[in-house]
Chain A
Amino acid sequence: MTVTRRAALAALVFAAVTGCSVFGGDGGTEPGERTVVLVTHDSFTMKQEVLDEFRASSGIRIDVRKSGDAGSLTNQLVLTKSSPLGDVAFGVDNTFADRALSADVFVPYRSPDADKGPSRYSIDDTDRLTAVDVGDVCVNADSAWFAGRGIPVPASYEDLADPKYKDLLVVQDPATSSPGLAFALGTVAHFGGDGWVNYWGKLLANGVKVTSGWEEAYTQDFSGSSGKGPRPLVVSYASSPAAEVGPDGKPRTSALLSTCFRQVEYAGVLTNAKHPDDARKVVDFLLSQPFQSNVAEQMFVYPAREDVPLPASWQGVAPQPSNPATLPEEVDQAWLITLWRTAMDR
């Protein structure tokens, strides 16, 4: 190849690669359409059809901006209150709601559909936050592992500290993992402000393994996932068994429903939003039938509405816990993490 042809090829390849680069690419709005920016966390997913349907019926294009996990999202909303990143936010959960509410990040709005279930999870008297979905963090068990050894699957927090289940549990660091924090909050709710540290001492003595993130614990250390790790008990979600169904249609894992902590995810219209009216319509959309009936399969959470059935594949496999622990009053995360670290350093 001659030098010039080679140069031409280089230019061509370069142009092809950069041709439609992200510089200047901005979705594109149809004429007459409005755009609402939805600020949310990394785990947000929704079928494009559902979003398109809303766009067609309302004339509102939802521009989704993801911003880290629930904690990161909350802090960003607080920092940008005077000049918000968008019009509406989804994904602040009950662990972080207090931080957002005391910083007045949201303005009051009560959606007409709030009475169809979401108000059960209300956290604020002035309707600044509307519950959209709930997720329960529970210990998951590898059913086959226990069946194969003839040991009963543990049922309670206390069982997990029983020497019979020594070296079987893997949990996440509450400082770095959202389910880890939820599980720790569950133990606070269950054992009280004095007893929970003691309980963690027992877990430690019983060989609990702590990882930083859910990924390592679930995909590597847990024996019930495709990683086929050594430990049959892991802190995950009540919905996780729905993803671990074998070819025979039977679940390989189950959630221990008495070890659950409920995370409720909220949405709200942001203070200083540029399009508050359309933002309210987006909150309505988050509570609408089409959206609610898809949250289970899309985000592995349970819809906040009562009149939305769970997908068929979830029936029996991932039932919603009936009596999960909820947020203990006045729990400061820094306090929890400091005490937890002290307990685990022993």
Chain B
Amino acid sequence: MVDHPVAHRHGPVTVPRRVGPAAGLFAVALIPLGFLAVFFAWPVLAILRLGLGAGVLTVLGDADTWRLVAFTLGQAAVSTVLALLAGLPVAFLLARTRLPGLGFVRVAVLVPFVLPTVVVGLAFRVLLPDGGVPAIVLANAFFNVAVVANTVAGLWSHVDRRSEDAARVLGASRSRTFAAVTLPALTPAVGSAAAIVFLFCATSFGVVLVLGGARHRTLETEIYLRTVELFDLPGAAALSLLQIGAVVAALAVGAAVRRRRETALALRGRAESARRPAGAEWAVVALAYGVVVLLLVPVLVLTLRSLSTSDGWSLAGYRALATTGTSGTLAISGVEAAANSLRAATDATVLAMTLGISASVVLVAMSRGRVRRGFVETMDAALMLPLGVSAVTVGFGYLITLDKLPGDLRTAPVLVPLAQALVVTPLVIRMVLPVLRAIDERLRSAAATLGAGPLRVWREVDLPLAGRSVLSAATFGFVVALGEFGATSFLARPDTTTLPVAIGRLISRPGALNNQMAYAACTLLMVVTVLAVVLVDRLRVPGVGEF
């Protein structure tokens, strides 16, 4: 045997790793992890530390606290199931059928997400005057159908239809085929969607507040009360710890479900997997259209409100959008607020896509490295945590930490897209990761042996194959950022007010015109959303999304 330096350097039992620029991977990993550490972990830990003490135990020992936990998780679980039931037919419709009007469906499903929760809460109060748990659950599901439909359709449209055909030939009924072949293939996406929806519902604030009245409270609303109104930081810390614990548990369950399922699939272009529905598929299509119609009901309620006054129908609310409201309720006009919304959402989307895609790339590269499964899953869960921690905890954490960064970011408008990106990034990861993981590693190897470097492999293989998912993640992230209220209302200056914040201001003022203008602004927000989504849909940057 020839003596060779390599042999000496590594010795006989070195753990093998994929050959690759490990340093480059580490650098890429630093982008999302660094962001997470500075803009999430540090602030949250700082505010929790302020509250830690004997008070925490008192709260944890209180039976009322545990009723709160039970109700929070219970309503989130039911809402998640409902969103899944409503979202899967829509995902089928979007991914697997070739029917006129799908563009409309794609947009209609996204619209709820952009509406301020207060306004949606008010719309549901019109529809279900008694409110209560059914209204909370329905409203939560209303928001989250889009998460399920988008995440699942992203993968579904890429899954090879032939394995289903094979099962059908082998004598399986359509429903049997779905349960035995289709659903297992979709499990990563369904698990991803369920995890996100659960987190959204568990931390749902506006909906619970408006529809729960004074009767129904969740961890999130109590954390808000104790932090913002009562200044009971020990109580808030105790509840936040419970919330984080519950979220981590939910994430662990989600990861366990996904673990066995994330395998390479033979990915196909949508053109091949979509076709005219047949037989019982029409029932699913009908169900999907039914869901879309139901989603549009609250939207319709809002639109009607924008047109009605005590004295009959009027366009006064829309005319008022060009102004700053009755005696200048807003510092800027509704139209300017819409422009602000677009700008902030664009910043947030660009940032979140950068963070989310780099995180996804790192997670995929790391899980190929065979040995670091525990680390991969921890990082995956850590990236999801921002969805499960109360916005007010993060916000108050910023107050006591970010002044230590150069430029005192605490009240800087730049914090708006940063805070929005914190929410959008997990969505991007959950939408892109399943598709990236489904790409056969050997395709990348083939490209590499043909002379493509790591970046080129990403551009030539991953990006085109995950193109549809990347694109819908961008669209979806944009819509989420466009509708973001909590962080923005906290951080936006009067002259950088966004539409949702303006709506919140208008709705909290007496006077018919303000009210009408608020609903007109909602309509404007929806129109802006639709235009943005349609535009992104049209763009289809070359090489991306054509697959």
Contact = CB atoms under 8 A, between A and B. Distances in A.
Direct contact of A and B (CB under 8 A): yes
Contacts of A240: 510
Interface in A101-134: none
Contacts of B430: none
Nearest to A227: B515
B213 interface: yes
Given A79-B396, A215-B118, A219-B122, A300 B229 contact: no
A213 B214 CA distance: 9
Interface in A7-51: 7, 9-10, 13-14, 17-18, 20-27, 37, 39, 42-43, 45, 47-48
Interface in B81-102: none
Contacts of A244: 510-512
A21 B494 contact: no
A78 B227 CA distance: 12
Interface string A68-111: 11011011101110010110000000000001000000000000
B273 to A, nearest CB: 24
Contact of A22 (B221, B331, B417, B540): B417
Contact of B214 (A43, A76, A173, A297): A173
B228 A71 contact: yes
A70 to B, nearest CB: 9
A65 B493 contact: yes
Contact of B494 (A37, A66, A67): A66
A213 B331 contact: no
Contacts of A300: 509-510
Contacts of B412: 26
Interface in A306-340: 333-334, 337
Interface string A218-231: 11100001111000
A22 B347 contact: yes
Main secondary structure of the interface of A (DSSP, over half): mixed
Nearest to A95: B229
A211 interface: yes
Contact of B403 (A45, A64, A83): A83
B411 A85 contact: yes
A83 B399 CA distance: 9
Nearest to A219: B515
A135 to B, nearest CB: 12
B175 interface: no
Contacts of A147: none
A225 B311 contact: no
Contacts of B514: 243
Contact of B399 (A4, A21, A85): A85
Contacts of B540: 6
B498 to A, nearest CB: 10
Nearest to B351: A23
Contact of A213 (B209, B342, B509): B209
Given A13-B539, A69-B228, A212 B122 contact: no
Contact of A237 (B221, B417, B510): B510
Contacts of A64: 493-494
B511 A80 contact: no
Contacts of B505: 42
B230 A21 contact: no
Interface in A182-220: 209-216, 218-220
B61 to A, nearest CB: 16
Nearest to A171: B214
Contact of A228 (B225, B310, B408, B493): B310
Task: Name the residue among B215, B329, B346, B396 with the largest chain A CB count within 10 angstroms.
Answer: B346
Contact of A68 (B343, B346, B490): B490
A76 B399 contact: yes
Contact of B515 (A37, A68, A225): A225
Given A71-B229, A216-B210, A10 B541 contact: yes
B500 to A, nearest CB: 13
Task: Name the residue among A27, A213, A215 with the largest chain B CB count within 10 angstroms.
Answer: A215
A227 B340 CA distance: 29
B123 to A, nearest CB: 10
A344 interface: yes
B535 interface: yes
B416 interface: yes
Contacts of A21: 343-344, 346-347, 417
Nearest to A69: B228
A23 B209 contact: no
A81 to B, nearest CB: 10
A247 interface: yes
Interface string B494-505: 111000000011
A65 B411 contact: yes
A289 interface: no
A18 B122 contact: no
Given A22-B413, A80-B400, A85-B399, A215 B508 contact: yes
A340 to B, nearest CB: 9
Contacts of A47: 328
A334 to B, nearest CB: 5
A68 B228 contact: yes
Contacts of A211: 210, 213-214
Task: Name the residue among B118, B224, B343 with the largest chain A CB count within 10 angstroms.
Answer: B343
Task: Name the residue among A18, A23, A300 with the largest chain B CB count within 10 angstroms.
Answer: A23
B347 A213 contact: no
Nearest to A44: B494
A17 B346 contact: yes
A58 interface: no
Interface string B384-414: 0000000000001001100100001011111
A216 to B, nearest CB: 6
Task: Name the residue among B125, B229, B340, B516 with the largest chain A CB count within 10 angstroms.
Answer: B229
A86 B399 CA distance: 12
A236 interface: yes
Contacts of B232: 334
Contacts of B344: 21-22
B121 interface: yes
B327 interface: yes
Contacts of A7: 541-542
Contact of A176 (B209, B331, B340): B209
A13 to B, nearest CB: 7
A18 B230 contact: no
B494 A333 contact: no
B303 interface: no
A297 B326 CA distance: 9
B70 interface: no
A56 interface: no
Contacts of B310: 226, 228, 246, 252
A58 B464 CA distance: 59
B212 interface: yes
A214 B221 contact: no
B349 to A, nearest CB: 10
A176 B221 contact: yes
Given A18-B346, A216-B121, 4 more contacts: A21-B417, A215-B122, A240-B510, A333-B230
Interface of B: 50, 118, 121-122, 125-126, 209-210, 212-215, 221, 224-225, 227-232, 308-311, 326-331, 340, 342-344, 346-347, 350, 396, 399-400, 403, 408, 410-414, 416-417, 489-490, 492-496, 504-505, 507-512, 514-516, 535, 539-542
Closest 10 CB pairs of A and B: A243-B511, A226-B512, A243-B510, A173-B214, A210-B214, A212-B209, A240-B510, A71-B229, A72-B228, A297-B327
24 contacts: A6-B540, A6-B542, A17-B342, A21-B343, A22-B344, A22-B414, A24-B414, A45-B329, A64-B493, A66-B492, A66-B494, A75-B396, A175-B214, A211-B210, A213-B209, A215-B507, A220-B122, A225-B510, A237-B510, A243-B511, A243-B514, A252-B310, A297-B327, A344-B214
